[in-house]
Amino acid sequence: MGRAFVYVILGGGVSAGYAALEFVRRGVSHGELCIISNESVAPYERPALSKGYLLPEGVELVLGTGVKSADVKRKTLLTTTGETISYKFLIIATGARALKLEEFGVNGSDAENVCYLRDISDANRLVNAIQSSPGGNAVVIGGGYIGMECAASLVINKINVTMVFPEAHCMARLLTPKIASYYEEYYKSRGVKFIKGTVLSSFDFDSNGKVTDVTLRDGTKLSVDMVVVGIGIRPNTGLFEGQLTLEKGGIKVNGMFQSSNSSVYAIGDVAAFPVKAFGEKRRLEHVDSARKSAKHAVSSIMEPDKTGEFDYIPFFYSRVFTLSWQFYGDNAGEVVYYGDLSASGSTFGAYWVNKGHVVGAFLEGGTREEYEAIAKTTTLRPAVEDLTELERQGLGFAVAV
Ligand code: FAD
Ligand code: NAD
């Protein structure tokens, strides 16, 4: 049994949805484009987990179906239902999976009150756990994006939160200790407790298999009604290992999102692509690059002569409680702060200056115009000789660029 398509998108997440939209916008005939996803629903906006499906018309959707093997030489995919699907062009949009506690030697991920958050079924499970623990205690494992955003949601839902992570401060991949401290103080003012510099050691379970207590490596024992785990992700590259070149844990692509096999493209979290401004390949785990890489890859496939190399400045953001920040560029080099980092609810930010140029910018509590200004600044990378003067000008520097 088999079917053939001109274009196959493997994966049904954010980048898959945007790639499909772009194919349809440019014009594909019925029966030319197929999406294969092991999720049972059409692509949706993962950040909001909003169920606002991205599905355009005229696309063959093979849902609830995993791909279990791929043969890039034969240009075929074998699905879990035993169907062989062949393509002329393949876009790999398999994203990433949440790392499991078991990978760090702790058992208990399957307990009904232990929650991860990657897809709609995870979100439903988390909502159930919240609803069955009114006024209860939660431990949040991990101080990254999921940990910080879920901790805020739990507090808003009147659950007592203790965050546990191994680093000295939250959001260690992106934020400096000084900026992280601002957010930690704000979280503390909302009742969140932090236990830093340690990791989970084990769980205790009741007779129904629910976690009742969490023991940390430093010996602390916390009684819990629920646990939320956000300890990072791994890109889903397994189907292509040994067939395509990998880099930075993802599938290596060029500025057209083409992999080491010319018929195969990769986009979103799974793709390691050249970021021109940094002169190196990066694998980004954010929705803006998922959307834009999808559009660019489709353009590369459909109009290769009119499509240049992807030119992209990384963009990350988050919104929790009444806080809202945006970051553009690279967090490399010396950091120059501006604004008041001590008061809650204020506007503040930082520039990263590397080799005499502004390469990164962070802003909390900005207006749309101010965010546009820091985005433009990191795109233009102005030269800065005097860091004290940059500090004095603060946000005004970006606004004047
Ligand atoms: P995904 O959206 O993960 O899609 C991958 C798809 O591939 C899934 O449908 C999966 O089921 C499918 N798949 C994988 N393997 C197979 C297989 N073998 N066979 C069939 N199908 C397969 N980023 C931001 O910038 N801002 C935010 O505020 C933000 N919030 C987020 C909130 C949450 C809860 C999460 C989980 C992520 C958030 N992100 C955010 C990150 C952003 O959602 C991801 O960067 C984005 O989803 C990546 O898109 P993707 O298409 O590469 O992967
Ligand atoms: P992350 O990489 O942001 O954070 C992982 C965290 O895990 C680290 O900060 C660390 O504190 C913790 N950790 C690592 N090893 C640990 C261990 N052994 N025990 C306890 N903690 C440990 O990953 P995440 O928070 O799980 O987020 C998953 C993905 O979702 C990421 O790709 C992220 O970019 C994406 N996401 C992005 C946003 C956003 O951009 N606003 C929001 C939600 C999720």
Backbone angles phi, psi at 199, to 5 degrees: -130, 170
Cα–Cα distance for residue pair 89/287, rounded to 1 Å? 23
- At residue 346, the pLDDT reads 83
Ligand 2 geometric centre to CA of 285 (Å): 10
- At residue 344, the pLDDT reads 67
Cα–Cα distance for residue pair 357/261, rounded to 1 Å? 36
Please choose from 118, 165, 217, 222 the residue to mutate so as to test ligand 2's pocket, defined by most ligand atoms within 8 A of CB: 165
DSSP 8-state symbol, 16: H
Q: Are 273 and 281 in contact (CB under 8 A)?
A: yes
Q: Are 32 and 65 in contact (CB under 8 A)?
A: no
Q: Is the CB of 165 under 6 A from ligand 2?
A: yes
Ligand lying nearest the CA atom of residue 146: 2
Ligand 1 geometric centre to CA of 109 (Å): 20
Q: Is the CB of 144 under 6 A from ligand 2?
A: yes
Could you tell me the two tokens for 148? 């910080």
Question: Which of 330, 338, 334 is closest to 363 using CA atoms?
Answer: 338
- At residue 44, the pLDDT reads 80
- At residue 45, the pLDDT reads 78
- At residue 274, the pLDDT reads 98
- At residue 241, the pLDDT reads 97
- At residue 52, the pLDDT reads 45
Ligand 1 geometric centre to CA of 84 (Å): 25
**Residue pLDDT, tens place only, 347-363:** 999 999 999 999 999 99
**Residue pLDDT, tens place only, 190-204:** 999 999 999 999 999
Question: Which of 97, 80, 1, 85 is closest to 35 using CA atoms?
Answer: 85
- At residue 342, the pLDDT reads 83
Cα–Cα distance for residue pair 11/387, rounded to 1 Å? 45
Mean pLDDT (10-residue bins), the chain, 401 residues = 94 95 91 95 68 63 96 98 97 98 96 95 93 95 97 95 98 97 96 97 96 96 98 98 98 98 98 95 97 98 97 96 96 96 84 97 97 98 96 96 91
